[in-house]
Chains A and B, each alone.
Chain A
Amino acid sequence: MSVLRCGICSALTDDVVSTLKDNGIRSVIDLITQNLEDLSQKTKLSYKDLVAIVNVLLAQYSTFPVTGEALYNTVLTSTSILPTACQGFDQILDGGLYTGEVTEVAGEIASGKTQICLSMTASVICHSKQNVMYVDTSGGFCAERLEEILHTKYQQGDNSDVFSHIRCLQTYDIYSLLSELQQIKVNITQQSDPFYSGLKLIIIDNVASVIYPILGGNQLDGRLIVCIDLLNAWWKPVVYTLIYPILGGNQLDGHGLIVQLSQLLKPLAVDYSLSVLVSNNVVVSDGEKKASLGKVWSHVPHTRILVSSMGDQQRQLVLVKSSRSRTGQTANFIISEKGCVDPG
């Protein structure tokens, strides 16, 4: 909501602003939704000036249409595909992670979400030679593990500078996550840090741990019980009483913040042709596993993959949402010291 003030354009002088204000027109929306002919008669302001003011405002606050042809050409030149170093994975993703998209990996605890994130990081910095921003919200980032993958899979010695291609941010709440993402956007546009010009992948592991606390109690009931049931200990009731008051935020604000996060992530991915990989937990509803965080979040990612454990090191991936490939495709992989690799 922008307030009208002088200086936005030459015709919008102090006198004009105050005249408009006297007629109940304070914001940009108030002015552009008016019938200018009536307004001109009512306020004795010149019609020509009003039209000029509105045109300047429209030009300033609206976005411009791009023709499909121009967009297609831009996308063709700017889109890159980041392979995942795991053939089955690449196959269901139609080549790998696409820039300009938000991809979500959802799975239970210990199903290999963080392993996928770490393997992806290694693949991007060694194979694609690009930079990675790793946003760690759950304390799951493990530099030693990443070093192991880099060492065994990509034969990176101790003295190589691979670690300069990755930056790790630790945020534990939604507000700092939003401000960090904003900062990344600023840094990319400023172009002062070479790290950001080579940035191709942003990982958020795990998005659920920053969003859970802002969702209201009602929504969480089912999930909480699932989580706490896993603990299976005598002190379960104690945990219930401790956790409830912390989680009981305002549900409305929660949804608003989720949308705000998505309105920050997706333009970041699309406008700066980055790929965004987020991890999420799962919930069981109607006997079916699906990504957690509810309906509002479910619209956010472009592509969604469910990962589940098949025992030992075996893991299975199912593509549940995609605009490119057929959904329902599956792939298997193994978690080894080389990260996520094809079985056999």
Chain B
Amino acid sequence: MLRNCRIIRNLVVLHRLLARLGSRPSIQGIEDTLFLDGPNVKDVYELYGVEGSGKTELLLSLVTSIILPKDWNGYKLNGANAGVIFIDTDYKFQILRLVNIMEKRIMVKTEHDKLDTNKKTSSNDIEVLVKECLKKIMIVRCTSSFQLLVTLHSLESTISNNPDIAVIMIDSISAFYWIDRCNGGENIGAQETNMKHIVQQLSKLINNYNLVLFATKALNFKKTNKENELKGDNCASPSEKKVLKDNHAEFLCKSWYKFVKHRLIFHKEKSFSIYCNSLNIDIQFTVNEGGICFK
């Protein structure tokens, strides 16, 4: 009995070890204006902003860059040819929009560098390519934090069996915040148990399997005016604007706050913009048919 148990255990350990050692495709350079020479493995990005500020749109643009191949029929598509797990807790994932972005991206690239006049890409070819690429994205939908936690545990075997998967995306991580807060009653510890376990499991997946995590977080709380004023007073006028740009206020548990490596803060005023302190960027972007376009 004991021997049996050891053999199974060793097999499991070996299997996981192999999965970890096996190299996963790199997604470095997929959006160099935003991530410079990143995203590096084990990075955790949080996309934070009000509704309609372009968080999900950026995720879809990133998915496109990740799942498209590097070359196709001699055209440079500059994709990473990697796999993605997309966890949709908001029931907002629009596959039709993703397909639109992909088709547009391919069309722009193929028209841009016409290598060979004899070679014509028909819309049929593009459709075949799009369908082929769509096999690399897996969509998981969750309706509660409990389900999300269990799903993250069950995804471990999916990830270890599929060496193409390089990215996990969660849209959004804050979806169950209010429900958990109500269910937890007065006890903050009870309110945050599920979230803590989720962060623990995510960190295990990201670090053990060398993945990159992107998660959106809704702006549920505004920083109070008082805090802003206080900071504004201490800072010189040029940097004052930056203080206001950083309107982040953490409301998920502390372990999530520590887990996030780069926080991209989305703003929507006259135009869309992203501000990130750790990457030292403050750029504007537009949204069009082909996804997000940086100025």
By size class, the interface of chain B is 35 or more
Query: Which residues of B from 27 to 56 have beta carbons under 8 Å from A?
Result: 50-52, 56
Decide: B138 and A252 in contact? CB cutoff 8 A.
no
The answer on a CB contact under 8 Å between B90 and A266 is yes
Say yes or no: B5 contacts A298, CB within 8 Å.
Answer: no
Given A58-B150, A62-B151, A72-B95, are A256 and B178 neighbors across the interface (CB < 8 Å)?
Answer: yes
Query: Within 8 Å of chain A (Cβ to Cβ): is B259?
Result: no
A72 touches B5 (CB 8 A): no
Q: Are A68 and B154 also in contact (CB < 8 A) when A295-B219, A321-B51 are? A: no
Cross-chain contact B9 with A58 (CB below 8 angstroms): no
- Does A263 have its Cβ within 8 Å of any Cβ on chain B? yes
* Contact, CB under 8 Å: B91 / A75: no
Task: Determine how close the nearest CB of chain B comes to the CB of A276; give it in whole angstroms.
Answer: 11
Binds A, one of B106-114, B140-148, B226-234, B273-281: B140-148
Min CB distance A221 to B, Å, is 16
A260 at the A/B interface (Cβ < 8 Å)? yes
- The residue in chain A whose Cβ has the minimal distance to the Cβ of B98 is A68
Within 8 A of B (CB), among A65-116: 65-69, 71-72, 75, 79
When the two chains form their complex, are residues B98 and A62 in contact, meaning their CB atoms are under 8 A apart? no
Q: Which of A67, A269, A321, A323 has the most CB of B within 10 A?
A: A323
Q: Give min CB distance, B77 to chain A, whole Å.
A: 17
B242 sits at the interface (CB 8 A):
no
In this assembly, does B248 line the interface, its C-beta being within 8 Å of a C-beta of chain A?
Answer: no
Given contacts A68-B95, A72-B99, A295-B50, contact A259 B178 (CB under 8 A): yes
A323 and B56 contact, Cβ closer than 8 Å, known pairs A48-B5, A79-B96 = yes
Question: Bound complex: CA of A276 vs CA of B184, how far in Å?
Answer: 31
B245 at the interface (CB under 8 A from A): no
Asked if A51 lies at the interface with its beta carbon under 8 angstroms from chain B, I say yes
CA A127 to CA B108, docked complex, whole Å: 38
Closest to A27 in B: B146
A 42-68 to B, binary, CB cutoff 8 A, 1 in contact else 0:
000011100100000111011111111
Cβ–Cβ contact A47 & B135, under 8 A: no
- The stretch that binds A, out of B17-25, B115-123, B193-201, is B193-201
Determine whether B261 belongs to the interface, using a CB cutoff of 8 Å to chain A: no
Q: Are A302 and B182 interface neighbours, CB within 8 A?
A: no
Q: Residues of B with Cβ closer than 8 Å to A?
A: 1, 4-5, 8-9, 12, 50-52, 56-57, 67, 85, 90-92, 94-100, 131, 133-144, 146-147, 149-151, 153-155, 158, 172, 175-179, 181-183, 193-194, 197, 200-201, 218-220, 288
The 3 closest A-B pairs by CB, nearest first: A256-B182, A68-B134, A266-B91
29 A-B pairs (CB sep. < 8 Å): A1-B146, A28-B146, A29-B150, A29-B194, A33-B201, A37-B9, A61-B146, A61-B147, A61-B150, A62-B153, A63-B141, A63-B142, A65-B85, A67-B139, A68-B67, A68-B133, A68-B136, A69-B135, A253-B182, A255-B181, A259-B175, A259-B179, A266-B91, A266-B92, A270-B141, A298-B51, A299-B172, A299-B218, A323-B94
